[in-house]
Structure 1
Amino acid sequence: MNALALVFPGQGSQRIGMGRDFWAQVPEARRFFEKGSESLGIDLARLCFEGPDELLTLTANAQPAIMAVSMAAFAALQCEGVKFDYVAGHSLGEYSALVAAGSLAFEDAIRVVRKRGEFMQEAVVPGAGAMAAILGLDKESVYTVCGEAASHGVVEVANLNGPGQVVIAGETKAVEHAIELAKQRGAKRAVRLQVSAPFHCSLMGPAGKRLAAVLQAVPIADPLVPLVNNVDAEFLMSREEIAGSLVRQVTSPVRWEDVVRKLVKEGVTLFLELGPGKVLTGLIKRIAPEVTALYAEDLSSLQVAINQAKALF
């Protein structure tokens, strides 16, 4: 039996102009921009469509902006009556997945995401932390590299994105040392990422504590469809598990490769990425080449995906 999983991208997928045609042509999608703007007191449509880039890339702005576009794409998909079986999201995308699953109200989720971005930005002094992509090394070797570089400070595995694609995060000196060690071990590439903070490592501890306090006041319902979480690559089926998982996610690696493998094991044959870009689509194709992975970042790519979904199911 074929199953469809909706997946939602995280930070880094933002670009000026994202979501414009959803906003212009799908009234249900436009409502997400309007509700988000009202909830945050900022003009999300203008931020997404006009930037400027330095404003859009700020963590506290990028996260709610990406979420608004993801939910606009979701609204456009729902208008076509497409049924889905599972949801998952990469880091920030997990909040979009929870909205799609009926677990979080969009207005609550976008406010939490804005706070989460602020907390993560404020957890580490600018310049004190860094992230790097290590390409072409297996994850065991990257863990070893982090262990060896730890004499220079905190450096940890942050994202397990797919075969030979691992991201590390930590204190700048330690990350730079780990980059050199990775190259010595034969990494094809080991490069600093243009990010404003070292996400998904223990340096984000203060952000996790602040986020926990915010989540306590947010109504969370049991998801209507199963969600596979980042932290454990396991199904979250109850509201009690969700808040704790979201707090742990801030300081824990995103186990994206394991998330995809879990969904494939459950019978997912079609993955559809909703939101700006196609980063997850590319990763899924590398992790599980036997499945179909599509993206919907605008109305034309959404139509292609809907046609394929109808052909498969």
Structure 2
Amino acid sequence: MNSGIGLVFPGQGSQSVGMGKALCEAHPILKEVYAEASSVLGYDSAALCFEGPAERLNLTENTQPALLVSSIAALKTLDSAGLNPIAVAGHSLGEYSALVAAGGLSFQDAVGLVQKRGRYMSEAVAPGTGQVAALLGLTPDVVREVCCEASSVGVVAAANFNSPGQVVIAGEKAAVERAIELAKGKGCKKAIPLPVSVPVHTPLMQTAADRLAKDLAAVQWSDLKMPLINNADAKAISRAADIPPSLVRQLPSSVLWEDSVHAMAKMGVTTFVEVGPGTVLTGLIKRIVPEAKLLNVNDPKSLDATLQALSATHSA
């Protein structure tokens, strides 16, 4: 049964100290997931996720593996449900969790890749030179226009098309500030600076993408058990050969999250399960496809509720 289920995995910004701890305490088998990650990373992954400190957890090259590990541990708790998802997707970094879930690459390889990805992203721009902000209340076309106009003072681009009326822009500080000014003149309801120092999903990430391409070429990829709706094109991919180029394009390109969710709905996904820390994606999906059923797994309580809802669907 389980038809109509899609799994989605969170990206950077969903991390918090203590994430995954209650799940791991309730399901001690999950310790193996953290131990496997620690052997790749060279430090205690569980200690960083469960105890912090926040300053260390929030460093991009630590955040990315921490979120991947927490998401895959959460996914493991769903093993008993015998899920058969129609499709998977992940927001930016979450795309790697989704690929592990779909059988595209091994967990160990994914941990190593996202650690490098985080490091390359941090090194692509000098600290303190980038800025990221969410613009509320504008259409995608108006945001693109604003970025185009503001690019006379530096690099700025639409980084994430998250949900109707929420687009994240990123780039060089002066250009982002100019874009915010222009956006307000075009009816932007609110501009919220985000606590992300790396202007990801803009052309400033091309050097990071070029470095990552070599690492992606060095790991073993497999065809996916279910299609992944990718960030760069919001298209379904399932062939091993299509995955690395899509991940290389992902870094300097916008995350087409709104389009990706619509694509999943068109494929027949009626129940979205957010697997991993936080409920950011659940909130976005609620605005994109209001009629969808939304579940999440990030602690024992949400896991129980999700298993219950899935078994009810199963027996219906």
Structure 2 partner of 1:282? 283
Structure 2 partner of 1:155? 156
**Paired letter, 1:18:** M
Task: Give the deviation of 1:169 after TM superposition.
Answer: 0.9
Q: Deviations over 1:217-250 (max 9, x none)?
A: 1101001111110001111110110000001000
* Contact residue 135 and residue 192 of structure 2 kept, 8 A: yes
Structure 2 partner of 1:168? 169
| Mapped partners of 1:302, 1:81: distance in 2 | 14
* Contact residue 23 and residue 33 of structure 1 kept, 8 A: no
| Mapped partners of 1:39, 1:111: distance in 2 | 6
**Paired letter, 2:283:** G
* Contact residue 159 and residue 255 of structure 1 kept, 8 A: yes
2:78 is paired with a residue whose SS is: helix
Structure 2 partner of 1:264? 265
Q: Deviations over 1:18-62 (max 9, x none)?
A: 000222222442211110011111111100111111100000000
1:221 is paired with a residue whose SS is: coil
2:109 matches 1:108:
yes
Structure 2 partner of 1:83? 84
Task: Give the deviation of 1:109 after TM superposition.
Answer: 0.2
Q: Deviations over 1:104-151 (max 9, x none)?
A: 100000100000000000000011111110011111110111011111
**Paired letter, 1:183:** K
Task: Please list, as runs of the form range in 1=range in 2, the aligned pairs for 1:231-310 lying within 5 A after superposition.
Answer: 231-310=232-311
| Mapped partners of 1:289, 1:310: distance in 2 | 22
2:263 is paired with a residue whose SS is: helix
Task: Give the deviation of 1:182 after TM superposition.
Answer: 0.8
RMSD: 1.1
Question: Which structure 2 segments of 5+ residues have no match?
Answer: none
| Mapped partners of 1:196, 1:59: distance in 2 | 9
2:206 matches 1:205:
yes
Task: Give the deviation of 1:303 after TM superposition.
Answer: 1.1
Which TM-score applies when normalising by structure 1? 0.98
Moved more, 66-75 or 291-300: 291-300
| Mapped partners of 1:22, 1:83: distance in 2 | 22
Moved more, 300-309 or 157-166: 300-309
1:166 is paired with a residue whose SS is: strand
* Contact residue 81 and residue 310 of structure 2 kept, 8 A: no
Task: Please list, as runs of the form range in 1=range in 2, the aligned pairs for 1:66-77 lying within 5 A after superposition.
Answer: 66-77=67-78
Q: Deviations over 1:176-223 (max 9, x none)?
A: 010111111111111221112100000001100000011111101001
| Mapped partners of 1:54, 1:280: distance in 2 | 24
1:268 is paired with a residue whose SS is: coil
Which TM-score applies when normalising by structure 2? 0.97
Structure 2 partner of 1:221? 222
Question: Which structure 1 segments of 5+ residues have no match?
Answer: none
| Mapped partners of 2:82, 2:214: distance in 1 | 37
| Mapped partners of 1:42, 1:26: distance in 2 | 22
2:97 matches 1:96:
yes
2:215 is paired with a residue whose SS is: helix
* Number of matched pairs: 313
Structure 2 partner of 1:9? 10
Task: Give the deviation of 1:270 after TM superposition.
Answer: 0.1
1:22 is paired with a residue whose SS is: helix
* Contact residue 16 and residue 49 of structure 2 kept, 8 A: yes
Moved more, 110-119 or 291-300: 291-300
| Mapped partners of 1:262, 1:84: distance in 2 | 14
**Paired letter, 1:162:** S
